[in-house]
Structure 1
Amino acid sequence: MEAIQVNRFGGPDVLVLTELPDPVPGPGQIAIDVTHAAVGLVDVYLRQGLYKDREGLPQPPYVPGLEVAGTVRALGDGVTGFAVGEKVVALPGDATGGYAPVYIAHGADVVSIEGYGIDPALAAAVIPNAIMAHAALTGAARFSAGESILVHGALGAFAATFPGIARQLGASRVVGTVRGARMGMAGATKLPYDTVVSSEQLPDALAGEKFDVIVDPVGGAVRTQSLDLLAPSGRLLLVGNASGDWEHRIDGNRLWYGNLTVTGFNAGGYLPVHPEAIRPGAEAALKAAADGLADTEIETLPLADAATAHERLENHSAGGRIVLTP
């Protein structure tokens, strides 16, 4: 098969189309014929070598890609509940393997989308992230019906799945923020926000409104500013660092004095410890997608254009999710 491989850490040019043998599922695994592979910022960070010293994360040579949709190609020994040809999506595994025609997933990380009428490009783009959003809100943030939520980077790959899940959980109000340059896109979004405001006009754009939960995939100055936007006993949920500000710190005394909670959510660490979160998350994610609560913008590119996809994520010119087709 022809797959994209990273042979060394570096810029987008290290993404090279390479001939590799078709992988075969082992015990407990499922082989998937990939129709769509989503491209995410974590793919970019891994390729850049940002996490090169962290145990368990990929080292060159490796095939990047975490989120795929396709059909079941073959079942490894011991796998039940799936049939060859069944439409499925796979949750992120070890952060490798997605940019290829054939993907190997652990059976527990595969979710059937058969019968839901969900476009496979949308499935790859939103279902895995929506499952993680459900786990983050119900587990890490302890979100309850009637609470309000603010989502920074509202149109981003992960952030865009929070409003639909929050609606399912009974949110009283769902507000998003984006950079000023993206306000035009925000005005056209089908995502179920009550309103989207410019992060560059905070806090004035919110006219004193406070939130029970704030989802922050951005970091940096936005993270500090979020502390002033939390309601009493509010929770700040950290789910990423798109700003690239890795030196940012939060004043613990502000948390103490304001009765605030800051909690991190890293799906790669959370879901293996809380596998019980996958099934309810999958049910919520599939319903959100089927009900039109996760209709994010999607652009499809050929697998060979993976470097272009990475470039567009790096220069912030992607209007929504980019999905590769082998």
Structure 2
Amino acid sequence: MQAVQAAAFGAPSVLGVTEVAAPEPGPGRMTIDVTHAAVGLVDVFLRQGLYKDRPGMPQAPFVPGLEVAGTVRELGEGVTGFTVGERVVSMSAAIGTGGYASVYLTDPALVVSLDGFDVDSALAVSVLPNAAMAHVALTRVAHLAKGESVLVHGALGGFSAAFPGIATQLGASRVVGTVRAGRLEEAGRSRLPYDRIVDSAAMTEALAGETFDIVIDPVGGDVRTRSLDLMGPGSRLLVGGNAGGDWDHAFPSNDLWQRSVTVSGFNSAAYLPSHPDAIRPALEAARTALTAGLGEMEIEVLPFSEAATAHERMENRSLTGRIVLVPDTPA
């Protein structure tokens, strides 16, 4: 089968298409014939070797990719609820690999059917897994209540972009996003259900007088600290990444008790394996939100052979919406 392999840790140029053996599903597992594989920031971090010294992380050479859409190829012993040929999307409950390939091995608990739903597979793989994670984050960690307001940093990023649709579905009264100044024009064209998107560098001034019950922050750094000025007593800050790359940032913990606010971390790779009961309702809620048009975004499709280009654009932030990869057409 075709697979995009990271031959070593390093620059995007380490990615190349190769032929490897297709995986076979053992008991309790299934394989998917991949039509679309989502490209995420975590794929970039893994390829760069950022996590290579952490236990359980992939070592080069490896095939990146956590989320795929396609059709059921084969069901392992004991697997029920799916049929061969059925359209599906699979998410990853851990930092795994293998998605940039024409066949993907997965756990059926992480798979949701698209059969009977009028949803494009490229859009589904770009939105649905992140929307499921957003559902878990909002319901299980941030405890969003109907009528509460939500602020989302990095509003157009793959993870953040899932929050306005799920928050709206859960009854949020207002969902506001922040982006870098260079993405404001793109934000103006966005079809995501934000009430407003503002410049993150000027958010305190732009949103003066407003406070939010929940703040979603996958960006980090100064954006995280300044979020405190937009939170009132009882507000919750959910830390879900470090896309800004400031790994040395220190957070003023004394502000938490003085302001009476809460900060929680959310990492699906850590949370979902220990809370498997959250996965199925989250996937189904995400599918409902997507079919209701709450996750519309721009998608660019590239062949496996242009995986390095996709990663370059992820690194230099020169993309609009999300990128998905598809197997190369045989010559």
TM band (smaller chain) = over 0.9
Unaligned runs of 5+ in 2: none
Q: CA RMSD in A?
A: 0.8
Q: Which residue does the alignment assign to 1:6?
A: 6
Q: Which residue does the alignment assign to 2:299?
A: 298
Aligned amino acid, residue 21 of structure 2: P
> Could you tell me whether the CA contact under 8 Å between 2:110 and 2:280 is conserved in 1?
no
For 1:74-113, list aligned pairs within 5 A: 74-92=74-92, 93-113=94-114
Stretch of structure 1 that moved more, 32-41 or 231-240 = 231-240
Which whole-Å CA distance do the structure 1 matches of 2:163 and 2:203 have between them? 20
Are residue 51 (structure 1) and residue 51 (structure 2) matched?
A: yes
Q: Which residue does the alignment assign to 1:315?
A: 316
Write out per-residue CA displacement over residues 220-246 of structure 1, whole angstroms, 9 at most, x where no aligned residue: 010000111112110000111000001
Q: Which residue does the alignment assign to 1:156?
A: 157
Which whole-Å CA distance do the structure 1 matches of 2:228 and 2:297 have between them? 28
Stretch of structure 1 that moved more, 261-270 or 225-234 = 225-234
Q: Which residue does the alignment assign to 1:288?
A: 289
Which whole-Å CA distance do the structure 1 matches of 2:136 and 2:311 have between them? 27
For 1:25-64, list aligned pairs within 5 A: 25-64=25-64
Q: Give the structure-1-normalised TM-score.
A: 0.99
Q: Which residue does the alignment assign to 2:168?
A: 167
Write out per-residue CA displacement over residues 192-227 of structure 1, whole angstroms, 9 at most, x where no aligned residue: 001111112120111221100000010001000011
- Aligned pair count reads 326
SS class of match (2:319)? coil
Deviation at 1:264, TM superposition (A): 0.5
For 1:155-234, list aligned pairs within 5 A: 155-234=156-235
Q: Which residue does the alignment assign to 1:71?
A: 71
Deviation at 1:279, TM superposition (A): 1.6
Deviation at 1:184, TM superposition (A): 0.5
Write out per-residue CA displacement over residues 122-177 of structure 1, whole angstroms, 9 at most, x where no aligned residue: 11101110000000000111111010000000000000000000001100100000
Q: Give the structure-2-normalised TM-score.
A: 0.97
Q: Which residue does the alignment assign to 2:248?
A: 247
Q: Which residue does the alignment assign to 2:276?
A: 275
> Could you tell me whether the CA contact under 8 Å between 2:109 and 2:280 is conserved in 1?
no
Which whole-Å CA distance do the structure 2 matches of 1:235 and 1:183 have between them? 26
Which whole-Å CA distance do the structure 1 matches of 2:49 and 2:183 have between them? 28
SS class of match (2:119)? coil
Which whole-Å CA distance do the structure 2 matches of 1:181 and 1:48 have between them? 25
Aligned amino acid, residue 139 of structure 2: T
Which whole-Å CA distance do the structure 2 matches of 1:296 and 1:151 have between them? 16
Are residue 139 (structure 1) and residue 127 (structure 2) matched?
A: no
- Aligned-residue sequence identity (percent) comes to 62
Unaligned runs of 5+ in 1: none
Are residue 257 (structure 1) and residue 277 (structure 2) matched?
A: no
Write out per-residue CA displacement over residues 67-123 of structure 1, whole angstroms, 9 at most, x where no aligned residue: 100000000111011000001111115420000000000111111111111100011
Write out per-residue CA displacement over residues 36-93 of structure 1, whole angstroms, 9 at most, x where no aligned residue: 0000000000000101111112111111000100000000111011000001111115
